[in-house]
Structure 1
Amino acid sequence: MLPSISVNSHMQGNGALNSRDAARHTAGAKRYKYLRRLFRFRQMDFEFAAWQMLYLFTSPQRVYRNFHYRKQTKDQWARDDPAFLVLLSIWLCVSTIGFGFVLDMGFFETIKLLLWVVFIDCIGVGLLISTLMWFISNKYLVKRQSRDYDVEWGYAFDVHLNAFYPLLVILHFIQLFFINYVILTDTFIGYFVGNTLWLIAVGYYIYVTFLGYSALPFLKNTVILLYPFAPVILLYGLSLALGWNFTHMLCSFYKYRVK
């Protein structure tokens, strides 16, 4: 004999989750769970987060396959483990300190630069971009027959973090080894190397962002997220023709910030 299921036990008669189960899936509940784990390092899977960071360079599609698996097992696209964010923050702090060292900044100037980069460039700009992409994707990219689905804001933030990590490593770490002896030498080789690194970094950001939204089966026309490649390549060619050095501009901006 099959066990009987009461209306209030798990699912209501119309197939909707009861109030207790529905509460577990609200954005507020997910956010609370995520923030609570942010201070419990023993519960974080740093090994898996490091694996994701590696594959964001070599095979970013594999990272988003894991997001599919999370949706199937935990009913959410966004990460529920802040380990990736913690490792990214460490990378950001270390690379910014390295930037301060390369630019011959003092201790307090480096700390000031670090605060600017963490709270404005990473968190502030990240929240702005994530919110903008969340709005655009839900407003214009959701398929008409999939209006019951929506892009989670947390997932939009995760996509930004995924795309930001390769950009951070290229511009804030790899580039450090070439700044003083190659990039800032005011020669064609200097701005060619520097601007090429910028092209690769921004290209990674665009491509990983595209992969993030194209991984959602209820979105359409995500190929438009690749369109920024055209103006970026055009700007790259123009910069070489006119002798613009993006890294020199960045260094000057960083020095201006900490005055």
Structure 2
Amino acid sequence: MLPTSTLPPGAASSSKRNRSGRYSPLWLYFRRLFKPTQMDFQYTMWTMLQLCISPKTAYKHASYHKQTKNHWARDDPAFVVLTAALVAVTATAYCLAFGSGIGRSLLTVVSAVAVDFLALGCGVATLGWGVANRLLRRKNQHSHAVEQGVEWMYAFDVHCNAFLPAFLLMAVLQLVLCPVLLMNTFVASLLSAGLYALGLSYYCYLTFLGYSALPFLERTELFLYPTGAAAVLVPLAVLAGLNPTKLALWYWFGYQ
């Protein structure tokens, strides 16, 4: 559809459109955010399932997206919407189990979505985006080749993809296992530390898969290095008698 306003000769086109005349991915993303009927929730739920059972399959579709849409990032915010809803529901369940007061519980739910998922996610995505573009891009051997870079929105997609399984392990499964994890025993500390180590390791692995799916990046195994730290910290935490579940509940709810 043509724009309703008339531009003077030689004027720049609207920033909502790219040079080919199509709407930019960022504009489409936020436009669909307020139009739920344009979100593909069925495909998004399939993607979420694949991230948990076969993450390589999920990232194969990122290359298909590049071939059809000419960009790597998703232009459908359904994944963020469903993940935010899951975070809100889980935070509400924690508040019902450990919280005190409606006002504080509401603040906890809002903080879990806005800070822990979105704000922190934007920070982690920006860090990964910067590392990938500055340190991991392949140098073009041909002077006339077009140099490619990681899209920030794709970096945010990678974070969201990695966040979901880690959240299911370290928040949802933890809530189910709380009666066991909160016991004052060595086994409880071991299980809690192992659960957090597994969640963080899986986050790093999915982050690695996300960036390694880009053909113009190299040395993406850099994103796997934090898993080594987790392997070292788990035994130390257990020997020190630390229980990550108790620490998390103390931080959020003052649980003793």
Normalised by the length of structure 1, the TM-score is 0.87
1:224 to 222, 237, 242: 222
Change (3 A) 1:23 1:79: same
The letter for the 2-side match of 1:65 is K
Instruction: State how 1:104-123 maps to structure 2 within 5 Å.
Output: 104-123=99-118
In the alignment, structure 1 segments of 5+ residues that lack a partner are 1-18
The letter for the 2-side match of 1:58 is I
| CA RMSD, Structure 1 to Structure 2 (Å) | 1.9
Partner of 2:194: 196
Q: Does 1:77 align with 2:72?
A: yes
Q: Does 1:97 align with 2:92?
A: yes
Task: Report the Cα distance in structure 2 between the residues aligned to 1:24 and 1:66, rounded to whole angstroms.
Answer: 25
Q: CA deviation at 1:91?
A: 0.5
In the alignment, structure 2 segments of 5+ residues that lack a partner are 1-14
Task: Report the Cα distance in structure 2 between the residues aligned to 1:224 and 1:81, rounded to whole angstroms.
Answer: 29
Cα displacement string for residues 152-175 of structure 1 (whole angstroms, at most 9, x for unaligned residues):
000000000000001111122111
Task: Report the Cα distance in structure 2 between the residues aligned to 1:201 and 1:63, rounded to whole angstroms.
Answer: 18
Instruction: State how 1:44-59 maps to structure 2 within 5 Å.
Output: 44-59=39-54
SS in 2 for 1:209: helix
The letter for the 2-side match of 1:203 is S
1:237 to 232, 235, 244: 235
Partner of 1:11: none
Task: Report the Cα distance in structure 1 between the residues aligned to 2:85 and 2:79, rounded to whole angstroms.
Answer: 10
Task: Report the Cα distance in structure 2 between the residues aligned to 1:236 and 1:32, rounded to whole angstroms.
Answer: 43
Q: CA deviation at 1:186?
A: 1.6
Partner of 1:22: 19
The letter for the 1-side match of 2:195 is L
Identity within the alignment, %: 36
The letter for the 2-side match of 1:22 is R
Q: CA deviation at 1:24?
A: 5.1
Q: Does 1:175 align with 2:174?
A: yes
Partner of 1:148: 147
Task: Report the Cα distance in structure 2 between the residues aligned to 1:144 and 1:239, rounded to whole angstroms.
Answer: 42
User: Aligned pair count?
Assistant: 236
Partner of 1:13: none
Cα displacement string for residues 59-92 of structure 1 (whole angstroms, at most 9, x for unaligned residues):
1011111100000000010001111111101101
Change (3 A) 1:34 1:50: same
Q: Does 1:159 align with 2:154?
A: no
> Higher mean Cα deviation, 119-128 or 106-115?
106-115
Partner of 1:7: none
Q: CA deviation at 1:147?
A: 6.5
Change (3 A) 1:72 1:244: same
The letter for the 1-side match of 2:132 is S
The letter for the 2-side match of 1:249 is L
Cα displacement string for residues 164-211 of structure 1 (whole angstroms, at most 9, x for unaligned residues):
0011111221111121x2111121121112111111111110000000
The letter for the 2-side match of 1:39 is F
Q: Is the contact between residue 99 and residue 253 of structure 2 (CA under 8 Å) also seen in structure 1?
A: no
Change (3 A) 1:130 1:21: closer
The letter for the 1-side match of 2:154 is Y
Q: Is the contact between residue 99 and residue 172 of structure 1 (CA under 8 Å) also seen in structure 2?
A: no
Q: CA deviation at 1:102?
A: 2.0
Change (3 A) 1:21 1:58: same
Cα displacement string for residues 95-128 of structure 1 (whole angstroms, at most 9, x for unaligned residues):
1111112214332221111111111111111111
Structure 1 consecutive aligned stretches of length 4 or more whose deviation exceeds 3 Å:
23-26
The letter for the 2-side match of 1:160 is H
Task: Report the Cα distance in structure 1 between the residues aligned to 2:205 and 2:104, rounded to whole angstroms.
Answer: 34
